[in-house]
A and B are shown apart, each in its own frame.
Chain A
């Protein structure tokens, strides 16, 4: 037995200390105050509890499903269901691990900050790289282990049947090997993308380019989430060896699982080969990126920033000033508007975290609406053969409102998160009663474009395809007017310049946020659909509804502009139970 002294020696080695430091850094997003970090821990614990409850819910559903399948007269339904569920279990772990790796992708490779902090210390570069790699394995390994532990009851349930061709233990082992391999592939795929970007993109572009790529991948993964829950339905195409399934990564690893179970089926063996090749290719790219970064670290990560970068904004580089014949107060107001507008758009363009929050939440909206539309047969078109035609029409009307609500949540969450909080002194120094409402108008413009503009663009093709162009145009007008009112709900009590106020997550119990939020979502979307249906009934009705919404929006806006002039901006987030500051 190794004694405590041995473990103490191990833990005090530079490798172990650095690994522990890098492991901790994977949880550090660099935006929270100590109080905010505490709140985040509580919030995370709540989320883990919710996930466990969800897992238990799945077990109940699976137990009922497989009890029915075991009682069937033929083994065929069971085999098809097992194929679909194997695809689902592997696909789900791949997606969740990819999401997790993406969230910590800023810590996958040693970067300039590591080099500058650790470079002067007597630590060899190989130790830094080893520690980074070990932290990555530790972090992802921990989540892979927890995830598979949580999914094991489901895997067992799919194996216990009189029609099962294999022993439970061997099926379980094959599933674990295939699913862990699939998870490793997810980690490698994300790491390979980040590694290649670090190697080939110039330092000037690296930050903004990586931010965009990460946000796009995040959005795609979130959109894929509801489709992963539809994977059990692919059991039949799997059993029929549909060739298009070879393009679906989870199918490769189901092939590997079947190959490990000794299946002689050539199709499964071919899928297994693809899985192994993909794993090898991912490992090769990641290993090459690590080796290249290790050997040419200074050259690759400390290269001087380019002095000419035409893709970046050339704000202020215009040689001919425009003449303006306006008074100084008006100049100050329009300057205040431009300052906040451009600051907000530049931050959303460059900050990975803010992009991730905005696109991640927006992708949830796209995932929810597209999954429901596909489920109702939208891709098959509207015809008398579609048994869900009426429901599809409802969904088409519901889509822009659902998107509007979720985009509203996304944009509000993104602009509420701080960016370099201590740099906000310049906004605090320059705040004036005269310009505050212009600054808030800039926020309103951005929120309106995102919350009203994008759902209109996304909803029009859906509505056009389901109810025709003329009806869709009327519906879109009503959606726009509703959006005009909804923007005021998004900006209710909003007194911040985006990214300049500190943020405290979990200010109230999660259930107090989720339940009213969900109820508001359901009511808002349902009310929106009713309004559109009423407007589609008669032109006079459409005009009346449009006018009423317009008046409401105008009244709300006037009230809010007056409030902006009175109330000072907020730069420090407050807990709701803190005493109200009257500021008298």
Chain B
């Protein structure tokens, strides 16, 4: 289980995360929702170890992250929001680089990398540098890179952007099967439909604080309002009609 306790992050005087507590249990996909600037990416960056939290702690299966930071990082796979890749490399070269940095042996890599590329429909473009790839192709490379070392926890930051319908379906199935093997996924996204389809629980973040935590299945069973309605209510989003009207007025020259 991944557990965040009182996770706090300050940038100068700005409080990006304010005492956030959540858990990702084994066999679970936790949806992590929030409007732009709510602290989603800050949480993700802290969980994967790209930034140090100002306060609070992260525990993976009862072990504090700082007690064994290298072991902690080894157990995490990460798909970032933007497909930041070394686009001068080919997909094979990039995956080999990631695999080697993750400490995988050459025999393991020579089996896994070509197979992953074939299964993710990237094999035909294996000798092209990723500069020529579409966003969806780059996203597939990132997913392959995140899975390459067989992690316990997948941290996904908007992983479905740029994917076509087929790849999206494949990813959803893959994530369900991934957690069925008693593993965990932290799924940060803006997409309510994805959360409703994939996640067992959802945490909603606003202005750096958790404002709601729900069990998605029970929400459905009790006939509660939709996730989108809950989101709008708890994040205090107002009625957007006047704002939309003003935007149209400006472009229509009214």
Contact = CB atoms under 8 A, between A and B. Distances in A.
Interface of A: 203-204, 207, 305-309, 312-319, 321-324, 328, 331-332, 335-336, 338-339, 342-343, 346-347, 350-351, 419-420, 422-423, 425-430, 432-435
Interface of B: 48-50, 70, 73, 76, 78, 80, 82, 84-90, 92-93, 95-111, 113-114, 124-129, 131-132, 145
Contacts of A335: 99-106
Contacts of B82: 422
B97 A426 contact: yes
8 contacts: A312-B90, A315-B93, A316-B113, A346-B89, A347-B86, A423-B85, A429-B78, A430-B101
Interface of A is mostly: helix
A409 B28 CA distance: 53
B88 A351 contact: yes
B88 A426 contact: no
A465 B248 CA distance: 81
Nearest to A309: B127
A55 to B, nearest CB: 39
A307 B48 CA distance: 35
A321 B107 contact: yes
A204 B105 contact: no
A342 B97 contact: yes
Contacts of B88: 207, 346-347, 350-351, 419-420
B125 A305 contact: yes
B162 to A, nearest CB: 15
Contacts of B76: 429
A433 B85 contact: no
Contacts of A307: 124-125, 127
Contacts of B70: 432-434
Contacts of B111: 321
A351 B131 CA distance: 12
A331 B48 CA distance: 23
A321 B106 contact: yes
Contacts of A430: 73, 98, 101-102
Contact of A429 (B50, B90, B110): B50
Contacts of A339: 96-97, 100-101
A315 B113 CA distance: 10
A316 B110 contact: yes
A308 B123 CA distance: 10
Contact of B127 (A306, A322, A338, A433): A306
B128 A315 contact: no
A425 B102 CA distance: 13
Contact of A322 (B107, B113, B128): B107
Contacts of A426: 97-98, 101, 145
Nearest to B51: A428
Contacts of A419: 86, 88
